Amino acid sequence: MNAPLSTPSRIAAAAPDGAVRRFFRGGWSFERVLLLAVLLINLAAAYQGWARLEEGRSRAEDRAAQETRNLAQVLEQSLGSTARSIDVTLRAVVDELETTAGGAHPLRPEEVRDLLARYKSWLPEIEGLRVFDAEGLPRWASSGAPPGHGLIGAEAFRTLASLAHDRLVVSPPQLEADPGLRVLSFSRRYRLADGRFGGVVTAAVPLNYLEELLAIPRLGRKGLSMLRYEDRSLIAVQPPIAGEVGRVGSKAISDELTDILDSGLEAATYLAPHMKDGVERINSVRRVAGLPLLLVLGMASEEYLAGWHGDMRDMLVMLAGFLLLTSGAAWLVIRYHRRLQAHAERLGETLAELRDRDKVLRVTERVG
């Protein structure tokens, strides 16, 4: 009887066929795990990108808020300095009028006009100095200034006349003032020789001067600077706003500003997503110390977030590229895995054929 043949089929039969099949069994499970891993990796990358974008947006908003606060403070100091200069001048004029009123030689009308013209020259920002009598009628005015009918306003005049202690009074712009004369009036009362109310001395600051002052802060193309009276009526705004909301005297303000003013806060910073001109801004509001005035300065979100929007576009492109890269890599791995599965199946079929042939050979050897 012939010796058993040492054929490759026996070596193949001894191969760990069961281990190969177990390794490649359940290919769809492997693919699901791989796809889940790719999904989780991309979600983690998206979360990190979102966190960085949120941090960047927060920094941009903080910078804008701080900038508007600083500019509002600087503008408030400028307005306060102007008001103090005007007040010193008004005090000087009042002292002159009260001193001469009780003297033996009261000032003649031309002397009063020269006096007003001299003091007016100290203040290039004002339109003119005027003196009103106890009835509110214009009596004297600095050279070249119109009489100024209705310049102070009846309510402000009554306030000045009834004051127990003299102080500076700022009245809102009067719509019934002389044509073309839109000013903010700073006034002080003066007394006659017997102590009775004698009238009012007024310095008129043109609104266009205030508009120039509001245009100084660099708040961007869609930024906004507003000056309002304590009753919330608009005095001046830069840049000009079209429509009723931009008219002098308008009290149309956002709900956020209304809440802040109702709370009595001296200063605050807030986001106004729905301002009356349709632009979202970060605003800082500040009450001008010692004056019945409110300053509101705002920077448009689309401008202070311009750099952040660029970062967001870059981040989205990067995340999209990362998604394509990981998805492509996963597809290649899955494709390779399926080829290995197909190869394993062919190998299994070959091994099965070899086992069958080996059985036939063993039977043949026995028979032989």
pTM over 0.95: no
Q: Which of 18-32, 136-150, 169-183, 315-329 has the lowest mean pLDDT?
A: 18-32
Q: What is the CATH number of the domain that holds 145?
A: 3.30.450.20
| pLDDT value, residue 96 | 87
**In the numeric block, which tokens belong to residue 99?**
């001193």
Give the pLDDT score at 20.
Answer: 47
Give the chain's largest Cα–Cα span.
162
Percent of all residues in the chain with a pLDDT value above 90, rounded to a whole number? 25
What strands, in cross-sheet order, belong to the sheet with 293-300? 234-238, 224-229, 293-300, 281-287, 267-272
Cis peptide bond prior to 239, omega within 30° of 0: yes
| Residue 4 within any structural domain of the chain | no
Over residues 183-198, the mean pLDDT reads 87
In this prediction, residue 180 has a pLDDT band, given cuts at 50, 70 and 90, of low
Q: Transcribe 335-364 into DSSP letters.
A: HHHHHHHHHHHHHHHHHHHHHHHHHHHHHH
In whole angstroms, give the CA distance from residue 88 to residue 83. Answer: 9
Between these two residues, 82 and 110, which has the higher pLDDT value?
82
pLDDT at residue 18 in the model: 53
Predicted pLDDT at 122: 87
Q: State the pLDDT confidence band at 348, using cuts at 50, 70 and 90.
A: confident
Q: Quick one: which H or E segment has residue 109?
A: helix 109-120
Residue 25 confidence class, pLDDT cut points 50, 70, 90:
low
Q: What is the mean pLDDT of residues 287-308?
A: 90
Q: Show the CA angle centred on residue 75, arms to residues 70 and 80, nearest 5°.
A: 125
For tokens 């306060």, the residue is: 80
More confident residue, 36 or 364: 36
- What pLDDT score does 240 carry? 86
Mean pLDDT, the chain, as a whole number?
A: 82
Of 121, 113, 134, 114, whose CA–CA distance to 89 is shortest?
A: 121
- Mean pLDDT throughout 332-360? 83
Counted domains in the chain:
1
Residue 367 within any structural domain of the chain: no
Residue 311 falls within a domain, yes or no?
A: no
Asked if residue 110 is part of any domain, the answer here is yes
Tens of pLDDT along 154-164? 777 888 888 87
Q: What letter does residue 182 receive in the DSSP assignment?
A: -
Whether residue 221 is contained in a domain is answered as no
Q: How far apart are CA 329 and CA 38, in angstroms?
A: 9
Strand, helix or coil at 247?
Answer: coil
Q: Is the pLDDT of residue 276 over 80?
A: no
- DSSP strand pairing (183-191 vs 197-206): antiparallel
Query: What pLDDT is attached to residue 13?
Result: 42
* Mean pLDDT of all residues in 277-292: 88
Contacts of range 177-184, beta carbons closer than 8 Å, 24 or more positions apart: 177/148, 177/149, 177/150, 177/151, 178/146, 178/147, 178/148, 178/149, 178/150, 178/151, 181/127, 181/146, 181/148, 181/151, 182/206, 182/207, 182/208, 182/248, 183/127, 183/151, 183/207, 184/210, 184/235
Pull the structure tokens for residue 170.
């700022």
Query: Out of 77-81, 146-150, 273-277, which region has the weakest mean confidence (pLDDT)?
Result: 146-150
In a domain, 128, yes or no: yes
Assigned domain for 365 exists: no
* Eight-state DSSP code of residue 108: P
Q: Are 128 and 202 in contact (CB under 8 A)?
A: no
Query: Does residue 137 lie in a domain region?
Result: yes
Residue 324 has pLDDT above 90, yes or no: yes
CA distance 359 to 199: 131
* Domain span including residue 190: 92-205
> What tokens appear for 293 in the block?
């005035």
Higher pLDDT, 334 or 180: 334
pLDDT at res. 27:
47
Percent of the chain whose predicted confidence (pLDDT) is above 70: 86
User: What's the mean pLDDT in 18-41?
Assistant: 70
Residue 178 banded pLDDT, cuts 50, 70, 90: low
Which residue reads 């006096």 in tokens? 115
Length of the chain: 368
The model's confidence at residue 297, banded by pLDDT at 50, 70 and 90, is very high
Query: What is the distance between the alpha carbons of residues 157 and 199, in angstroms, rounded to a whole number?
Result: 9
10-14, 196-200, 271-275, 359-363: least confidently modelled range: 10-14
Is pLDDT above 50 for 69?
A: yes
Beta pairing, strands 169-171 & 138-141: unpaired
DSSP state of 77: H
| Average pLDDT of the residues in 295-318 | 90
